[in-house]
Amino acid sequence: MQKFNKNIFTKNPVEKPSILVADDDKIIRQLFKRAFGEKNYNIYTAKDGYAALRKAKEKPFNLLIMDLKMPGINGVDVLEEVKKNNPHIEVIIITGYPTVELAVEAIKMGAFDFISKPFDIKRISFAISSCLEKQKLNIKKQNRLIQIEKMAAVGKLASGIAHEIRNPLAIILKGVELLEVNLSGEDGATKEYIEKIKWNVERANNIIVELLNFSRTSELKQQPLNICKLLDEAVDLARNQANLNNVTMSKDLPKKEVRIKGDYNLLRQAFFNLFINAVDAMPKGGKLWIRACREKESRIGKSKVMVVEVEDTGKGIPHDELSKIFDPFFTTKQPGKGTGLGLSIVHLIFERHKATIKAESQQGKGTKFIIRLLAS
Q: What are the tens digits of pLDDT across the range 193-216?
A: 888 888 888 877 777 776 666 555
* Terminal C-alpha separation, the chain: 50
The pLDDT value given to residue 282 = 92
CA angle 145, 108, 16 (to 5 degrees): 60
Do 367 and 311 meet the contact criterion of CB atoms below 8 Å apart?
yes
φ, ψ (nearest 5 deg) of residue 69: -100, 100
The pLDDT value given to residue 184 = 64
Do 373 and 260 meet the contact criterion of CB atoms below 8 Å apart?
yes
The pLDDT value given to residue 324 = 82
Rounded to whole angstroms, the Cα distance separating 190 from 180 reads: 9
- With a threshold of 0.75, does the pTM exceed it? no
The pLDDT value given to residue 4 = 41
The pLDDT value given to residue 369 = 95
In 3D space, the residue among 2, 28, 199 whose CA is nearest the CA of residue 84 turns out to be 2
Is-cis flag, bond preceding 118, omega within 30? yes
The pLDDT value given to residue 296 = 63
Counting as low any pLDDT under 70, the low residues of the chain are: 1-15, 39, 98-100, 102-103, 143-163, 184-187, 210-219, 296-303, 328-341
Domains, the chain: 6-119 (3.40.50.2300), 146-215 (1.10.287), 223-374 (3.30.565.10)
Is residue 10 exposed (0-12), middle (13-18) or buried (19+ Cβ within 10 Å)? Answer: middle
The pLDDT value given to residue 2 = 41
